[in-house]
Structure 1
Amino acid sequence: MNQTGSITLFHYWNRLRDGRPAPKRSEVEPADIKSLLADTFILEKDTRGEAVFRLAGTRLCAVYGRELKGFSFPSLWREKDQRLISKLTDGVFDLKSVALITYEGFSRTGRSNRFELLALPLDGGVESPRCLGVISTVEKPFWLGADPVLDALIDSIRVVDPDKEPMFLKNRPAIEVPSLAPSEFDPPETISALGQARRIRHLVVFDGGREE
């Protein structure tokens, strides 16, 4: 795990489970992970046994340009990767495994960005398995949230041993997950032929206007 969202959620989940294969879904308190909620999701199995979104954070829905609730989880990936994603989520549901996925997401206009996804099991009983997860962006380009991600290809997959992982994560500090809201200004930059510009998260503002 390299992204703060993955590390923070893993530590929270690991404390909740307290040596068990997974914590109960009723033990997860949204207020405890409020800084991550916009990037988190919960999966459940539909009547066909396929993983679908039960809940999805607002920033995730913005990244994909739609409300994800009820949508197939494997459908976020290109067809050749969907079977592997299904097997991984089955492992999380049925075997209480922990899965870490890095992938390249491609937008409607052909832009790309890398993501890290952590999937953690929740104990909802035999009839109601659940998965708690978080998706973090490796970089935060200005277009993210405005140009929807429509396709993805897997870069790497790792099944995590939750009893060993804390040894590697304990010295990594927690950092608040930033927002996509236009609340922070980047330094001005010059874009060829267009003059001075400022990025405000997913917008680019060009200085100029009419001269009398």
Structure 2
Amino acid sequence: MKREASVNLFQYWNRLRDGRAAPRRTEIEPADIKALLGDTFILESDARGEAVFRLAGTRLCAIYGRELKGFAFSSLWREKDSRMVMRLVRGVFQDKAVLVMTYDGISRTQRTVPMELLLLPLDGGEQNRRALGIVSSETKPYWLGADPVSDAAVETVRIVDPDREPIFLKNRPPVRMPALDRGMSDDPLRLGARRIRHLLVLPGGRTE
């Protein structure tokens, strides 16, 4: 977590859960996080098991240029990232995982802004799966809110241990998501890699 808003919401959620896997939805008091409300949202799992927006803050809706309530969470992501994102969200719902993700928000006119998303599980039982989230931008470009973000490209993903303080998590390396059109389908042995027992050794930059 690098954004102050993410850290503040995590700390609030962490205090509420008090050692449990997640706090209950009814324990969230909007007045306690009023400075963050414009950027926060709540997801719920619908009858098909798809994550949809139950609530979304005004600033977040302004960034995307539409009211997000009732829309599928997958509608925020480009097709190549959508399935992966939805698997991660199911992990938040089912396993009470904490998800931190960075991505590039891409506007209708192809401007980009770095964003951070934090998703925190809420305890609503098997029939009422929900999660609390927040989205914050690394910068505040002049066009944000006027030129709606209509696409998103995932940069990094972290699954966070909620029992560790966020100050330590800042130094934890994220997993950078590789582009689907490079590297993933190449045969490593064709790229000069060598097999040593169960290991695959890739060529480095040292010549000696």
- Under a length normalisation based on structure 2, what TM-score does the superposition of the two structures give? 0.80
Once the two structures are superposed, the pairs formed by residues 139-150 of structure 1 within 5 Å of their partners are 139-150=139-150
Distance in 2 between residues matched to 1:50 and 1:136, nearest whole Å: 23
Q: Deviations over 1:120-164 (max 9, x none)?
A: 000011110110000000110000000000000000000000011
Aligned twin of 1:10:
10
Contact 2:113 2:138 in 1 (8 A): yes
Secondary structure of the structure 2 residue equivalent to 1:113: strand
- Match of residue 61 from structure 1: 61
Displacement after TM superposition at 1:167 (Å): 5.2
Give 2:24's aligned residue.
Answer: 24
Gaps of 5+ in 1: 171-212
Kindly state the Cα deviation for residue 165 of structure 1 after the two structures are TM-superposed.
Answer: 3.1
Contact 1:116-1:135 at 8 Å conserved across structures: yes
C-alpha distance in structure 1 between counterparts of 2:78 and 2:169, whole Å: 31
Q: Deviations 1:99-118 (Å, cap 9, x if unpaired)?
A: 00000011011111010000
- 1:162-211 residue CA offsets vs partner (Å, 9 max, x unmatched): 011345279xxxxxxxxxxxxxxxxxxxxxxxxxxxxxxxxxxxxxxxxx
Q: Say what the alpha-carbon RMSD is for the aligned residues.
A: 1.2
Q: Give the equivalent residue in structure 2 for 1:206.
A: none
Give the CA deviation at 1:43: 0.0
Tell me which residue corresponds to 1:95: 95
AA in 2 matched with 1:161: D
Work out the percentage of aligned pairs sharing the same amino acid. Answer: 65
Q: Residue type matched to 1:52 in 2?
A: V
The one-letter code matched in structure 2 to 1:131 is A
Q: Aligned partners of 1:166 and 1:85: how far apart in 2?
A: 22
Equivalent position amino acid for 2:48 in 1:
R
**AA partner of residue 47 (structure 1):** A
Moved over 3 A (4+): none
Q: Which residue of 2 aligns with 1:160?
A: 160
Q: Distance in 2 between matches of 1:61 and 1:96?
A: 26
- Separation in structure 1 between the aligned mates of residue 169 and residue 28 of structure 2, nearest angstrom: 21
Q: Does 1:109 align with 2:109?
A: yes
Is 2:7–2:166's contact at 8 Å kept on the other side of the alignment?
no
Note if contact 2:97-2:121 (Cα within 8 Å) is conserved in structure 1: yes
Match of 1:191 in 2: none
Closer, same or farther: CA 167–113 of 1 in aligned 2, 3 Å: closer
Aligned amino acid, residue 163 of structure 2: D
Once residues 79 and 165 of structure 1 are traced to their aligned partners in structure 2, the CA distance between those partners, rounded to angstroms, is 34
Provide structure 2 residue ranges, at least 5 long, that are not aligned to the other structure.
Answer: 171-208
CA contact (8 A) 1:41 1:57 kept: yes
